[in-house]
């Protein structure tokens, strides 16, 4: 079993839809959970990070962590064509800057159609 599983998609939604992106993991020691967005021909950029369980909201984006189910989600409200990108989840037992300890999902490719 992979440490982090993420459905690769592709996921295609109409503009304005609510998008739900998910990852499951097996290591219960993970404490920090991150979502990165990667546009085509660009490097990943950190969208949000959450420590332990709970929700975190930033504008149209909400990150949820359910440690009991080992399941994390990213919700995008009122999705826009500019949200079209690959979204990668990542997690670690340390902080988001813990290079070498970050385990990434393979990414979900999202396309938002006008």
Q: Does 42 bind other proteins (CB under 8 A)?
A: yes
**Minimum distance of other proteins from residue 11's CB (angstroms):** 16
**Minimum distance of other proteins from residue 7's CB (angstroms):** 13
**Minimum distance of other proteins from residue 33's CB (angstroms):** 13
Q: Does 33 bind other proteins (CB under 8 A)?
A: no
Q: Does 55 bind other proteins (CB under 8 A)?
A: no
Q: Does 105 bind other proteins (CB under 8 A)?
A: yes
Q: Does 10 bind other proteins (CB under 8 A)?
A: no
Q: Does 88 bind other proteins (CB under 8 A)?
A: yes
Spatial distance between the Cα atoms of 77 and 20, rounded to a whole number of angstroms? 9
**Minimum distance of other proteins from residue 16's CB (angstroms):** 29
Q: Angle at Cα 97 formed by Cα 96 and Cα 99, nearest 5°?
A: 110
Lateral strand order in the sheet of 61-66? 4-6, 19-25, 71-76, 61-66, 54-58
Spatial distance between the Cα atoms of 20 and 7, rounded to a whole number of angstroms? 11
User: How far is residue 111 from each of residues 3, 25, 39, 40, 101, measured CA to CA in Å?
Assistant: 26, 25, 11, 12, 30
* 16 versus 95: smaller Cβ distance to other proteins: 95
Q: How many helices (H) and strands (E) does the chain have?
A: 0, 11
Q: Does 54 bind other proteins (CB under 8 A)?
A: no
């Amino acid at each position: 079993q992979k440490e982090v599983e993420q459905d690769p998609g592709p996921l295609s939604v109409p503009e304005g839809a609510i998008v739900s992106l998910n990852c499951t993991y097996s290591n219960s020691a993970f404490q920090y959970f991150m979502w990165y967005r990667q546009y085509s021909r660009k490097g990943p950029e950190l969208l949000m990070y959450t420590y332990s369980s709970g929700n975190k909201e930033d504008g149209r984006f909400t990150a949820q962590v359910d440690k009991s189910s080992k399941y994390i989600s990213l919700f995008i409200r009122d999705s826009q064509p500019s949200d079209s990108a690959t979204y990668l989840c990542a997690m670690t037992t340390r902080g988001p800057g813990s290079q070498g300890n970050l385990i990434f999902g393979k990414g979900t490719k999202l396309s938002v159609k006008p």
